[in-house]
Structure 1
Amino acid sequence: MNSPATSDDLPKQMMALRAHARGGPEQLRYEEAPAPAAPGDSEVCLQVRAAAITFDELTWPETWEADGVDRTPIIPSHEVSGVVTALGAEVQGLSVSEEVFGLVPFNRNGAAAEYVLVPAANLVRKPDGVSHVVAAAAVLPALTASEALVHSRLTNDQRLLVRGATGAVGSFVTQFAARMGIKVTATVRSASAVDRAKRYGADEVLVGDDVTRLDPASCDAAIDAAGAGTPDWAYRGVRPGGRLITLQEPPDADLAAAAGVDAMFFIVDPHPEELQRLADQLASGDIEVPIAQTYPLAEGGEAYAARGRTQSPGKIILTVP
């Protein structure tokens, strides 16, 4: 077993992005904060190099409370890549100074800081040659896409409808599905995204209002990777008995019943084997990781406020020097 870190081994203070009251980006402040204590037995302390933003986490109850108890001040951003600085006594397979990436649970302080504590089971070694920015950007979208495809129950040569096929999650859904031999009908917002969707492996691309050309019941499953408010055409596009998966909010039960589809919503649950599979995929260079923009940690509030302002697909990343 590893020798546990003591409080003398770790910094007492750090710079972090914090919110002291519930709200949106306007509540975020870049300020000095207490650094994490020594890691617990199964935890790892990371010096953060890059952290990816999930905008909607500022609206989730678990961001602000745990078991009904207020958690403020909170630190957001839970997709992380960094360097191990300390290990809990029971952590195996990792060592100090190794570069790792993974997912911080959403009910604890995140990685928009110089240091963060992460359960060891939520981390994997970062491949050499893959940047911290790319690793952080891939974590949650890729894990979500992989789990969504498992839930889709699709096999080779079946057809999948992907709404938002070039976004942060949709890009991985499209790439992974194509590699599984699944035929992808992709929807995108503008003509400028058509070539990108085809590069990811889409067989058919529908732009904006072109979804009116989607034949009813023409797909075996659908994954809505575009956000809240899954439109009725997405339900109608799935054959009766097929599955529709939403990633932002639970599906509309009435629309699902009318279309005769099995609609579901899930929250991603990271597993070590899935993280390792992602690390192997990143190492191979076979998948493309879209990154919209990077901001230094000190400009984290501006980064969270940038939702909808960037025309580039993919994740917004906070970098920590």
Structure 2
Amino acid sequence: MKAATTRGFGPRARLMIKDVNKPKIGADDVLVEVHASSVNPKDWKLNYNISSLVPKVGSLSNFHIIGDDLAGVIVERGSNVSNFKVGDKVYGMDMRLRTAACGEYACIATKRIAHMPKNISFNEAAAVPLAALTALQAFQMGPVSDGSKVLVIGASGGVGTFAIQIAKAMGAEVTGVCSGKNIELVTSLGADKVIDYTQGDFKAENNNFDLVFDATAYESLTTCASLMAEDGLFVTTSGHGKALFNAYRPHLFMGSKSARPVWVESYTSDLEILTDFIESGAVTPVIDSVHQLANIEDAYTRNKTGRSRGKVVIQIV
């Protein structure tokens, strides 16, 4: 089968399409004919770099296949699988270390997938798992319900576009932060208010948000404390640097304000929540651009700019 992998070793490694062996499945897995995947910052910040440092030999050969998100059709199932059948359309991901989704076929455990929403395409479904699960699991940490006040920083990006819609679906009053050119998009997604970060330092203003969700991974509890209610929660997508440090250090001068990083996982139950949101019309994937597998380098380049509006999708079939 054809798959995207790395060529070369270390800093000079590049993406390429090559023929590799079709993956073998275990008793609790399914083999998916992948129709689409999508690009997340994790792909080029972590997966690509690790892949380029590991020798491409023997059993490690499929380790180098890129991609987390997948949407496709089951073509084979393991002996223990009863909740999915051959021919089912599914979507999901596996974060250990990646799904190896940017290939014509991928092996994935059934606890990491769900049946695809009936009202969206494979390209749209592939845009959902990592980004939408990140937003959903961030809001499951905090007081997001009817009347909650939520701020989403990075509201026009891959995670942010889902975050606006999911918070609204959960009943929150939502404010999005983005550049002026994306205000119309973020408003169309349901944001009650939109802040243009190019027009001043919004973090210096006093506010009372119950939850501040930083989808950019640039901010911290310290920089956003004035925006938060006295018992507010700051949630970041960052797993490193100052944001992570501020999530765990004693908040001696922050009162009862707190911070937590979101470590996204793929579970069928959470994917099914997203399916309900999508099928009800409460959440719609926003796609920035679609790239063929042969042009995966262009997809990565677009995502690296940090300027994509929604998700960058890779079409496999």
Give the TM-score range, shorter chain. Answer: 0.7 to 0.9
Letter in 1 for 2:184: D
In structure 1, C-alpha distance between the alignment counterparts of 2:104 and 2:11, rounded to whole Å: 22
Give the CA deviation at 1:228: 3.3
1:30 and 2:31 matched: no
Among 37, 54, 73, the residue aligned to 1:51? 37
Give the CA deviation at 1:19: 1.6
1:234 and 2:224 matched: yes
Corresponding pairs, count? 304
Among 270, 278, 281, the residue aligned to 1:282? 278
Give the CA deviation at 1:223: 0.4
Q: Note if contact 1:63-1:106 (Cα within 8 Å) is conserved in structure 2.
A: no
In structure 1, C-alpha distance between the alignment counterparts of 2:265 and 2:202, rounded to whole Å: 35
Letter in 2 for 1:34: N
Give the CA deviation at 1:125: 1.4
Residue in structure 2 matched with residue 291 of structure 1 by the alignment: 287
Residue in structure 2 matched with residue 164 of structure 1 by the alignment: 154
Give the CA deviation at 1:31: 0.9
Instruction: Considering fraction of residues, name the structure with more helix.
Output: 2
In structure 2, C-alpha distance between the alignment counterparts of 1:134 and 1:23, rounded to whole Å: 33
Across the aligned residues of Structure 1 and Structure 2, the Cα RMSD in angstroms comes to 2.7
Residue in structure 2 matched with residue 185 of structure 1 by the alignment: 175
Residue in structure 2 matched with residue 102 of structure 1 by the alignment: 92
Q: Note if contact 2:144-2:170 (Cα within 8 Å) is conserved in structure 1.
A: no
Q: Residues 15 and 127 (structure 1 numbering): CA distance in 2 closer, same or farther, change over 3 Å?
A: same
Residue in structure 2 matched with residue 269 of structure 1 by the alignment: 265
1:249 and 2:245 matched: no
5 Å-filtered alignment, 1:1-321, equals 14-20=1-7, 27-37=14-24, 39-60=25-46, 64=50, 71=60, 74-188=64-178, 190-210=179-199, 212-213=201-202, 215-230=205-220, 232-250=222-240, 251=243, 252-253=245-246, 257-260=252-255, 261-309=257-305, 311-321=307-317
Normalised to the residue count of structure 2, the TM-score between the two structures is: 0.86
Give the CA deviation at 1:207: 0.4
Q: Note if contact 2:143-2:210 (Cα within 8 Å) is conserved in structure 1.
A: no
Give the CA deviation at 1:61: 7.0
User: What is the CA deviation profile of residues 36-89 of structure 1, one whole-angstrom value per residue up to 9, with x for unaligned ones?
Assistant: 12x100000011100011133333379738xx9995651111100011111000
Provide structure 1 residue ranges, at least 5 long, that are not aligned to the other structure: 1-13
In structure 2, C-alpha distance between the alignment counterparts of 1:108 and 1:201, rounded to whole Å: 32
In structure 1, C-alpha distance between the alignment counterparts of 2:119 and 2:172, rounded to whole Å: 30
Normalised to the residue count of structure 1, the TM-score between the two structures is: 0.85
Query: Structure 1 residues 81-90 or 96-105, which shifts more?
Result: 96-105
Query: Structure 1 residues 309-318 or 287-296, which shifts more?
Result: 309-318
User: What is the CA deviation profile of residues 123-159 of structure 1, one whole-angstrom value per residue up to 9, with x for unaligned ones?
Assistant: 1112334100000101111111111111122332221
Q: Note if contact 1:18-1:75 (Cα within 8 Å) is conserved in structure 2.
A: yes
Q: Note if contact 2:302-2:308 (Cα within 8 Å) is conserved in structure 1.
A: no
Give the CA deviation at 1:280: 2.4
In structure 1, C-alpha distance between the alignment counterparts of 2:114 and 2:108, rounded to whole Å: 11
Q: Residues 307 and 32 (structure 1 numbering): CA distance in 2 closer, same or farther, change over 3 Å?
A: same
User: What is the CA deviation profile of residues 173-207 of structure 1, one whole-angstrom value per residue up to 9, with x for unaligned ones?
Assistant: 1112122221222211x212112222222222110
Tell me the secondary structure at the aligned position of residue 141 of structure 1: helix
Give the CA deviation at 1:304: 1.3
Letter in 1 for 2:31: C
Query: Structure 1 residues 199-208 or 253-262, which shifts more?
Result: 253-262
Q: Residues 311 and 246 (structure 1 numbering): CA distance in 2 closer, same or farther, change over 3 Å?
A: closer
Tell me the secondary structure at the aligned position of residue 307 of structure 1: helix
In structure 2, C-alpha distance between the alignment counterparts of 1:158 and 1:285, rounded to whole Å: 21
In structure 2, C-alpha distance between the alignment counterparts of 1:288 and 1:209, rounded to whole Å: 27
Give the CA deviation at 1:20: 4.8
In structure 2, C-alpha distance between the alignment counterparts of 1:78 and 1:187, rounded to whole Å: 27
Query: Structure 1 residues 244-253 or 14-23, which shifts more?
Result: 14-23
Give the CA deviation at 1:220: 1.7
Letter in 2 for 1:56: K
Q: Note if contact 2:69-2:99 (Cα within 8 Å) is conserved in structure 1.
A: no
In structure 2, C-alpha distance between the alignment counterparts of 1:25 and 1:52, rounded to whole Å: 23
